[in-house]
A and B are shown apart, each in its own frame.
Chain A
Amino acid sequence: MKAVRMRHPSCWRDTNKTPMDLDRLTTNPVDTQWVSVSVERNQQCNLHAGIVHRTGENEVKKLHFGWHRSLYNYFVTGPVVCAIPDVAKPAHRLWLAVFCGLVADNIPKRNIPYSLKHDEDVAFDERTGEVKFGNEDSGLNCATFVVAVFRCAGHPLINSKGWPKASIDDIAIQKQSVRSMLDSSDPDIQQQGRKNSRDIGTPRIRPDHVAGACLEKEAAGPARFAACEANSAHVVTALDSHLACQA
Chain B
Amino acid sequence: MAVFESCLVELSDFDENPRASVARATRPRFRVVVQNALQDALQRSIELKLTLSQDAASPQKSPPAESAARAPAFSVDDLLFVCFADNRTVVPDDDRARTADELDTIYGLDSRGLHRQAMERVARYVDELLNSGKFPECDAMLTAAKADELSAPVLVAFLGITLAARGKLGFRASFYDRAFARVSHESGENEASELLARYK
A interface vs B, CB < 8 Å? 88-92, 94-95, 97-99, 101-102, 105-106, 109, 122, 124, 127-131, 152-155
Contact = CB atoms under 8 A, between A and B. Distances in A.
Given A94-B153, A99-B160, A106-B127, A128 B116 contact: no
Given A129-B131, A130-B130, A102 B123 contact: yes
Given A101-B120, A129-B168, A154-B198, A95 B133 contact: no
Interface of B: 115-116, 119-120, 123-124, 127, 129-135, 152-153, 156-157, 159-161, 163-165, 168, 194-195, 198-199
A105 B131 CA distance: 14
B153 A129 contact: no
A129 B119 contact: no
B153 A102 contact: no
Contact of B120 (A98, A106, A122, A154): A98
A92 B15 CA distance: 50
Contacts of B165: 124, 129
A92 B157 CA distance: 9
Contacts of A128: 131-133
15 contacts: A90-B153, A91-B152, A92-B195, A94-B115, A98-B119, A98-B123, A99-B160, A101-B120, A102-B120, A122-B164, A129-B131, A152-B164, A154-B159, A154-B160, A154-B163
Nearest to B152: A91
A95 B124 CA distance: 13
Contacts of B160: 95, 99, 153-154
Contacts of B124: 102, 105
Contacts of A91: 152-153, 156, 195
Contact of A98 (B135, B157, B195): B157
A129 B135 contact: yes
Contact of B156 (A95, A129, A130): A95
Contacts of B159: 154
Contacts of B129: 129
A96 B159 CA distance: 12
Nearest to B131: A130
Which one of A90, A122, A131 has the greatest number of beta carbons of chain B within 10 Å?
A: A131
Nearest to B129: A129
Contacts of B119: 94-95, 98
A129 B116 CA distance: 24
A171 B119 CA distance: 42
Contacts of A95: 119, 153, 156-157, 160
